[in-house]
């Protein structure tokens, strides 16, 4: 959670897609909570898993979208959600299980979470996408 807050404040771009990649229970939603809180978009306890709702939005105006595609199986189902409309907004778009649809995303940042013990995780960032702030 603390790492998510720090990433939100100092490392992640203002907007764009961030894929949260990791096995079941790796800690994707927990990191998303930290990020949404770090952006000032939500209280930690107000961020919950969008496994059944598919997409949650935080902030007014929205600065963080949190998406969970676990229950979708085909790319055309992802296309039908209309997520492409979010890509050009000024919000960060956090996506769990998005790596299963690799052709769908524009340029994006990847955060990988690996479980290295019951209470231990290794978290790495690659392809960090930096965009100019739009006014």
Q: What's the distance, CA 14 to chain centroid?
A: 12
When binding is defined by CB under 6 A, the residue of 27, 34, 50, 98 that contacts ligand ATP is 27
Strands 55-58 and 16-21: unpaired
Q: Should residue 33 be labelled a site residue for Mg ion when binding is judged by CB under 5 A?
A: no
Residue nearest to ligand ATP (CB): 27
Which of Mg ion, ligand ATP, none has residue 22 at its interface (CB below 5 to 8 Å by kind)? ligand ATP
**Bridge partners for 16 per DSSP:** 92
Task: Tell me if 27 sits within 8 A of 124, measured CB to CB.
Answer: no
Cβ nearer to ligand ATP, comparing 39 with 90: 39
**Residue 28 touches Mg ion, criterion: CB under 5 A:** yes
Q: Check binding of 110 to Mg ion (CB under 5 A).
A: no
Interface with ligand ATP, residue 46, by CB under 6 A: no
DSSP per-residue codes, 25-53:
TSSHHHHHHHHHHHTTSS-GGG----TTT
Q: Which two tokens stand for residue 18?
A: 């961030």
Interatomic CA distance for residues 53 and 72, integer angstroms: 12
Q: Which does 45 bind (CB under 5 to 8 A by kind): ligand ATP, Mg ion, none?
A: none
26 binds ligand ATP per the rule CB under 6 A: yes
- Chain contacts with ligand ATP (rule: CB under 6 A): 22, 24-30, 49, 96, 119, 121
């Amino acid at each position: 959670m603390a790492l998510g807050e720090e990433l939100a404040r100092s490392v992640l771009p203002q907007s764009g897609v961030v894929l949260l990649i990791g096995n079941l229970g790796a800690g994707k939603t927990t990191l998303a909570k930290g990020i949404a809180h770090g952006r000032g978009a939500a209280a930690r306890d107000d961020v919950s898993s969008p496994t059944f709702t598919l997409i949650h939005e935080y902030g007014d105006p929205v600065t963080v979208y949190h998406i969970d595609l676990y229950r979708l199986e085909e790319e055309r189902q992802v296309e039908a959600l209309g997520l492409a409309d979010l890509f050009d907004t000024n919000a960060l778009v956090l996506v769990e299980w998005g790596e299963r649809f690799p052709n769908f995303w524009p340029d994006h940042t990847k955060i990988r979470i690996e479980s290295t013990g019951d209470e231990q995780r290794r978290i790495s960032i690659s392809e960090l996408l930096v965009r100019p702030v739009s006014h």
